[in-house]
Amino acid sequence: FNLLSNAVKFTPGGGRISITARQVSGLPSSVPRPEPAPATEDRGPETGEARLEIKVSDTGIGIKAEDLPRLFQQFVQLEASATKHHEGTGLGLALAKRLVELHGGRIWAESEGEGQGSTFTVVLPFTQPSQ
């Protein structure tokens, strides 16, 4: 919910938001490893097991490259002038990250920079129901 809420908050009128979900195997090699590794790391998100990938993309204000590593830290709010009129506690993404990691997953953000929109990706373990 937080990812979608942020997309709405930081995408101006006329912008676009998309949500996609698909089954994948493992994680892309470009995904940064969490520091420190969570206790659930032994579930093996890189092993090629079935995973559910959820992406929330927008055409909003974007994120500077130097801000991406700080996004998921508690109480961090970016200082860009475009974000100053939005209120928040700086806890939403930190809580989302913790919840995803507790479920053995990963979360990360990508952006080409300010004014270029952003994409937040969550990858979780996925077990198909038995038939």
CATH number of the domain encompassing residue 111:
3.30.565.10
Cross-sheet strand order for the sheet of 118-125? 17-25, 50-58, 118-125, 106-110
Rg of the chain on CA atoms, in Å = 15
Domain that holds residue 7: 2-125
Within a domain: 117: yes
How many domains in the chain?
1
pLDDT digits (tens, 9 = 90+) for 61-120: 999 999 999 999 987 777 655 544 556 677 899 999 999 999 999 999 999 999 999 999
| Average pLDDT score over the chain | 84
Q: Which regions of the chain does DSSP assign to beta strands (E)?
A: 17-25, 50-58, 106-110, 118-125
